[in-house]
C-alpha cells in the first residue's frame, strides 16, 4: 500500500512539473497534496495529515486558483444581434459584411498575446445578454454592420490599455470602412 502511494507521489510530481497549463498544474499539486496527506496517515502522523489536508491541499490550492483566475484570462463577449433587429436599422441592409468581424477579434487577440493574457472569447447573439452578463466580462464587443461598440469598465486597467492599443492600430480597421467607438463605464 505504502509503495503504491510513494509511486503515485512521484508520478504526480512529475506531471505537476511537466504540465504546460498552469491551472492543471495547480490541480495536480492539490492532488499531490492529498496523496501526501493519505501517506502521512499511513506513517502514523494524523496531526500532520490533518494540517496538510486542510492547509496544504485546500487553502493553498484555492489561493493559487484565485490568483490564476484573476490574472490569466481576458474575457471577451462578442455580441451580434439577430438579423431582424439589424434590419430595423436600415442603413446596413446592403451587404452582409456585418458577419466579417475577424479584424477586430484579431486585434483584441494580438493585444492579449502581447500582454501574455489568455483571450477567452464568447459569441452571443442575444441582445439582452449585454445587460445580464456585463459583470463577468472584461470587455464586450457589440457589432452593428460595420460599426463596433466596445464597452469596458473604467476600473479595469487592461481595458484602458486595450483602448490605447486599438487607437494605435485603428488604421487596419478603417481600411475596411469600419468605425469603432469605445465606451468606458
Rule CB under 8 A: which residues touch other proteins?
2-3, 6-7, 9-10, 13-14, 16-17, 22, 25-26, 29, 32-33, 36, 39-40, 43-48, 50-52, 54-56, 58-60, 62-64, 66-68, 70-71, 115-116, 132, 135-136, 153, 155-157
Cβ of residue 77: shortest distance to other proteins, in angstroms? 14
**Nearest residue (CB) to other proteins, 96 versus 167:** 167
In this structure, the strands spanning 139-144 and 73-79 are parallel
Residue closer to other proteins (CB basis): 32 or 180: 32
The minimum distance between CB 81 and other proteins, in angstroms, equals 22
Give dist(CA 156, CA 140) in Å, integer: 13
DSSP string, 51-112: HIIIIIIIIHHHHHHHHHHHHSEEEEEEE---HHHHHHSGGG-S--GGG--HHHHHHHHHHH
Handedness of CA 139, 144, 145, 147 (dihedral sign): negative
Min dist CB 21 to other proteins, Å, is 11
Please, which residue, 99 or 185, has the CB nearer to other proteins?
A: 185
Least Cβ distance, residue 76 to other proteins (angstroms) = 17
Q: Are 107 and 180 in contact (CB under 8 A)?
A: no
* Cβ density class 86-113: b for 16+ within 10 Å, e for less: beeeeeeeeeeebeebeebeebbeebbe
Of 14 and 96, which has the nearer Cβ to other proteins? 14
In the complex, what is the shortest distance from the CB of residue 32 to other proteins, in angstroms, rounded to a whole number?
Answer: 7
Amino acid at each position: 500500500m505504502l509503495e503504491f502511494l510513494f509511486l503515485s507521489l512521484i508520478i504526480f510530481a512529475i506531471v505537476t512539473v511537466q504540465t504546460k497549463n498552469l491551472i492543471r498544474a495547480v490541480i495536480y499539486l492539490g492532488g499531490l497534496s492529498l496523496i501526501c496527506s493519505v501517506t502521512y496517515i499511513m506513517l502514523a502522523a494524523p496531526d500532520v495529515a490533518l494540517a496538510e489536508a486542510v492547509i496544504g491541499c485546500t487553502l493553498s490550492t484555492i489561493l493559487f486558483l484565485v490568483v490564476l483566475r484573476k490574472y490569466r484570462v481576458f474575457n471577451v463577449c462578442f455580441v451580434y444581434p439577430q438579423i431582424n433587429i439589424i434590419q430595423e436599422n436600415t442603413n446596413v441592409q446592403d451587404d452582409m459584411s456585418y458577419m466579417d468581424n475577424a479584424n477586430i477579434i484579431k486585434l483584441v487577440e494580438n493585444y492579449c498575446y502581447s500582454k501574455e493574457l489568455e483571450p477567452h472569447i464568447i459569441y452571443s447573439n442575444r441582445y439582452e445578454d449585454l445587460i445580464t452578463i456585463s459583470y463577468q466580462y472584461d470587455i464586450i464587443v457589440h457589432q452593428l454592420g460595420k460599426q463596433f461598440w466596445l464597452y469596458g469598465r473604467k476600473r479595469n486597467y487592461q481595458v484602458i490599455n486595450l483602448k490605447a492599443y486599438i487607437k494605435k492600430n485603428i488604421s487596419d480597421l478603417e481600411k475596411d470602412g469600419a468605425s469603432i467607438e469605445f465606451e468606458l463605464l
